[in-house]
Chains A and B, each alone.
Chain A
Amino acid sequence: MEAEVAQLLLAVIQGIPGGATNDDLSKALSDMPAGSRVEGLNVLLKQGSIEILKKGDKLIYRAKDPEKKSALPKDADNEEKVVYSIVEEGGNKGIWIRDIRMKSNLNMTQLNKILKNLETKKLIKAVKSVNASKKKVYMLYNLEADRSVTGGAWYQDQDFEVEFVDVLNQQCLRFLQMKREGAEKKRDGPLAFKQMSCCTVKEVHKFISDLGISKVNLDEDDLETILKTVVYDGSAERILQSDGTYVYRAVNLPLPAPGLVQMPCGICPVIKNCSNCGDVTAINCQYMNDWLD
């Protein structure tokens, strides 16, 4: 009997997207006594098929999205539901345990227990953020963590893959240089040479994909980041095109190695302490002795 009433009510509520007020319900189901209506609503609330909102001093019943209808098992208690919905709100960026506590007003021990519970049921998962290694964030089990949390392609677990980035950096540079050398061979004037030595990100992307050095899939944005590091290494230039995109090209350094670094003083770690007296002087300098012999 109750279930039938509930079905009827749900159908009515679903029919009104903005949510149904008590008046709507009594109008639509005029033959239903108020008592059984309340019971039916209670059943729906328990199932989680509807939610109650307050507008002014009126109550509004709104149907929840059936897809979003929580994967929570029926036996979950209220606290679990609250925590679950908070985690759900966090989306794929995850939510920090402190924020969950603040929002849910639960105490720490209880919250911990609930989270552990949900984790064992594989409803949520804890992900370590790359930005702060000790900070754990929670998100729904079936979600894939956002780039800002995992760090994208450059992170394996929590670790930044230095070698991977370095290899990609070198390969990108090699590609740019190959392109430049190729352009040098043709003699069509300086401007043509310059244009031919420029590469778009797409070209580099294709080259890297064909090389097959990467296990993970890299998209063009990833390669743009790598290309930027090549530019920051001073081996390439980033040139703005008229259509707002950038192209890259290998360049030579404008200066030969400066004289300062051709002698030990230029790279001396203790040059600040070097003076006429004391332990660091030009006379008893070990770096200088090594250099002169």
Chain B
Amino acid sequence: MSADYAHLCSSILEQCFGKVVQSVADCLFSATTRTLSQIVSSTNFSRKEVVLAVAVLIKFRLVNFEPSKNNPFLAEYSLRREDVICLLRYSRYIHLVQTKYGNVGASIAEELLNAGSETATGLLLKCLSDGENKAESAETYRDTFIKMISDHYIIKIPELMPGDEQDEAVPKFQKNECGFFVPPNIDLQLLAQIQKGEATLSKALDGAIVWSLNYDRFHQEFRDDIMKLAIERKLGENAAECFSFILNLIYNTTDPWQRKASNLVTFVEIKQAIERKSNNMELIKYLDQYICLIMDDSLGFLRKVGDMGGGQYLVDMEKTFESLAFACVEAVITERFGSKAARIFRVIRVKKFIEQEDLQKEAMIPAKEAKSLAYNLFQEQFIHVKVIKKPGGGGSGPAKAFYLFQIKDKDTVRMLLDNCFKSLYNTIRRSNYEKNEHKGLIEKSQRLDSIVEAMKERGESDEYIAEIVETFTPPECEILNKVKNRIKTLSKAEMTLDDTIFLLQMYQHHCTTLPTGIQKFK
């Protein structure tokens, strides 16, 4: 965790939950665990405010708590730092659900995201009372909800351990991996009663079972999309389709977040799956060739490990994300330092260790330019230098040193990831600044809009409305449009930046042993 990420988290939380939560989270960010009184004393907010803030964070699954080792009645809180950035991905999550389950699914996901976590009945109530989708029946909502659970997009939050001695102590939860995706029983009759006001929500039977979105499942989908897109760009659509079948087969036997490589799948299995589900004749005809193609490609997505069942294959996640992350690093270098610098970077990557002189010869770049580019890359920490010293032979002859360029993969990616965090922080900061700077204007236009709306409802004359609208002068209008455009550009940049961040995080998950945000069933 870097300082850049700390800044980013802080500003995201401020944007979503306000100042109190922000400073509570800041306090938790800097420590492994804190108790409530420690948070209170270091944040200067009242105990009540802090309790509320922690509760919000727990509801949004951003804070974990566990009993202290010495005192089972004292809870220690810790921030799930990696999950904070997921708050920015909400629109992507909703978009994904929208494409898979339509509007009903999207509204379920939206309510769930807004609430952080929610009981099934409560959630469906909210969706139903939401104005937009009145046409859909409660059954459709329930069915979609259950479908999303069985597809693992929605996950059950661990239930409280049953027992009496839980009153005073810090609550303990059941950890039962099988139970995470068991669909709930939803009483539609009760739902209708509550809707009419004949019963209260507390009567619902599933009050103790709380659901939340399963980020990992979404991330798995995003990750697969990255891989499929890469194959499509390099080898065409058919190969991408073939690869998506392979991925689906592999998830039957493999934990999707296995770090290095997947379990095995045989050619026969792939062939059967494609013949059953695909109607792409060309793919079926040339299936062996497409698999061969993906396997031989320099991206290294697929690896052949045996001959059983017409050939056994595995998806090499480590190699995949190494190739992709470095394609990204190289693209950044091309944009920032020019294509010659990218050439130098690739030469170093291919040769592993190389001296300055050999470098310029291999890259065919004049000595001076090559030197300046390589040193620039070194200065910005994209490449590194390894010094090998030969000791001077007892005073006879000078000590000699060799300076070899090399790339420390993990350091480079990490540096770039921190850069991304900083850039993302900058966009948020800038966007807040723009909003603050023109706060008066934005508020005025909003007020005006609501007045005009109200007038239209009352049926006032068009002339009168036009007069009111004119109080917003053209220069003001111009400034407002400019600001709106700026904010739009910035939020678009936020989205695209997150793509890069996600890719690099996937590299960290699959190519390193660092702890990452992804744990099985958090």
Residues of chain A at the chain B interface (Cβ within 8 Å): 131, 154, 159-160, 162, 165, 169, 189-191, 194, 225-226, 228-229, 231-234, 237, 251-263, 265-267, 269, 271-272, 274, 276, 282-283, 285, 288, 291-293
- Cβ contacts under 8 Å, B172 to chain A: none
Contact code string B283-295 (vs A, CB < 8 Å = 1, else 0): 0011001101100
- Cβ contacts under 8 Å, B430 to chain A: 282-283, 285, 288
Q: A254–B422 contact, CB under 8 A?
A: no
- Cβ contacts under 8 Å, A251 to chain B: 234, 298
Closest to B238 in A: A190
Interface members, chain B 484-522 (any A CB < 8 Å): 485-486, 489-490, 493, 495-500, 503
Q: A258–B332 contact, CB under 8 A?
A: yes
Q: A190–B293 contact, CB under 8 A?
A: yes
**Distance in Å from the Cβ of B5 to the closest Cβ of chain A?**
14
Q: Measured between alpha carbons, how far is A228 from B343 in the docked complex, in Å?
A: 10
Q: Measured between alpha carbons, how far is A252 from B234 in the docked complex, in Å?
A: 5
Closest to B418 in A: A271
B217 sits at the interface (CB 8 A): no
Q: Measured between alpha carbons, how far is A251 from B298 in the docked complex, in Å?
A: 10
A266-B423 contact, Cβ under 8 Å, with A190-B236, A233-B343, A253-B233: yes
B419 sits at the interface (CB 8 A): yes
Residues of chain B at the chain A interface (Cβ within 8 Å): 7, 229-231, 233-236, 238-239, 285-286, 289-290, 292-293, 298-299, 323-324, 327-328, 330-332, 335-336, 339, 342-343, 346-347, 350, 357, 362-367, 369, 380, 416, 419-420, 422-423, 425-427, 429-430, 433, 482, 485-486, 489-490, 493, 495-500, 503
Closest to B339 in A: A233
Q: B419–A260 contact, CB under 8 A?
A: yes
Q: Measured between alpha carbons, how far is A169 from B425 in the docked complex, in Å?
A: 40
The 8 Å CB contact of B342, one of A131, A231, A233, A259, is A233
The 8 Å CB contact of A274, one of B332, B422, B495, is B422
The 8 Å CB contact of B499, one of A159, A258, A291, is A258
- Cβ contacts under 8 Å, B229 to chain A: 255-256
Q: A292–B486 contact, CB under 8 A?
A: yes
- Cβ contacts under 8 Å, A261 to chain B: 331-332, 335-336
Q: A225–B420 contact, CB under 8 A?
A: no
The 8 Å CB contact of A266, one of B324, B335, B365, B425, is B335
**Distance in Å from the Cβ of A225 to the closest Cβ of chain B?**
6
Q: B500–A258 contact, CB under 8 A?
A: yes
Most buried by B among A191, A251, A266, A293: A266
- Cβ contacts under 8 Å, A162 to chain B: 365-366, 369
- Cβ contacts under 8 Å, B350 to chain A: 232
Q: A265-B423, A267-B332 given. 14 additional CB < 8 A pairs?
A: A189-B286, A191-B286, A233-B339, A234-B330, A258-B503, A260-B328, A263-B493, A266-B332, A271-B419, A272-B380, A282-B429, A282-B430, A283-B433, A291-B489
